[in-house]
């Protein structure tokens, strides 16, 4: 009797051990699946849309520092804007100048220069043709003999010093000559005020002495 009771107890303990093993096996399992890496060439984030107007490539990460500005004496190649006169235009195509004429901006072939103001004034003074190509424009400086002596720029004021002599074709030439010189200098320098001196005398006074 005691042997059968011990057998039942032993059997119960073996069954309990087996059940515990089964329960432990049910609580464990294969490790959780990890996400697979993206395929080559794919992106996990969407690329920003391109506007189609910028010539710069798209960049990611931290912004790159801006490139330093080129030195002021660096050679530059670009077109020059020179001013000439349209007869009897009455201000239709440009600012009215002289006796019912107009001051017209013209763009000249690119040149290489270090100082745009000096380059523009030198090019204007070097042209001694009365007619400006097939444009129908007139050069009021054609008969004058002027050379650039120097230029300076202080804040919004540009000063142009010339030497030589001015030849006027008539009483209406003075404002045209001043207009060509002053507007060419203003456009090249970006100045709002331009002073023109001829042989050390302001151009208005120099022309009034003629």
Domain that holds residue 160: 76-208
* pLDDT the model gives residue 72: 58
Answer whether residue 109 is part of any domain: yes
7 within a domain of the structure (yes/no): no
Strand, coil or helix: 143? coil
Query: Whose CA is closest to 126, among 157, 140, 147, 150?
Result: 147
Q: Is residue 43 part of a domain?
A: no
pLDDT at 199: 97
Q: Is residue 2 part of a domain?
A: no
**Overall number of domains in the chain:** 1
Domain membership of residue 13 (yes or no) is: no
pLDDT at 210: 64
Beta strands in 62-198, from DSSP E residues, in sequence order: 76-86, 96-97, 101-113, 131-132, 137-138, 145-154, 157-165, 193-198
Tell me, yes or no, whether 146 lies in a domain: yes
pTM: 0.66
pLDDT at 134: 87
Give residue 180's pLDDT: 98
Predicted confidence at residue 169, as pLDDT, reads 84
Task: Flag residues of the chain having pLDDT under 50.
Answer: 1-5, 7-9, 11-70
């Amino acid at each position: 009797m005691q042997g059968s009771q011990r057998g039942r107890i032993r059997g119960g303990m073996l069954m309990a051990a087996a059940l515990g093993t089964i329960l432990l096996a049910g609580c464990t399992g294969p490790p959780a699946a990890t996400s697979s890496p993206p395929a080559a060439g794919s992106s996990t984030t969407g690329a920003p849309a391109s506007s189609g107007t910028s010539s710069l490539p798209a960049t990611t990460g931290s912004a790159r520092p801006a490139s330093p500005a080129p030195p002021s004496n660096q050679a530059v190649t670009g077109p020059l804007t020179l001013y000439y006169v349209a007869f009897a235009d009455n201000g239709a195509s440009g600012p009215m100048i002289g006796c019912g004429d107009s001051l017209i901006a013209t763009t000249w072939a690119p040149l290489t220069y270090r100082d745009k103001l000096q380059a523009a004034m030198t090019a204007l003074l070097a042209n001694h043709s009365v007619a400006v190509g097939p444009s129908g424009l007139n050069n009021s400086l054609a008969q004058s003999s002027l050379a650039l002596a120097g230029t300076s720029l202080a804040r919004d004021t540009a000063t142009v010093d010339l030497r030589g002599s001015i030849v006027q074709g008539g009483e209406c030439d003075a404002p045209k000559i001043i207009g060509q010189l002053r507007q060419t200098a203003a456009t090249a320098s970006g100045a709002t005020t331009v002073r023109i001196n001829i042989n050390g005398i302001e151009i208005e006074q120099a022309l009034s002495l003629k």
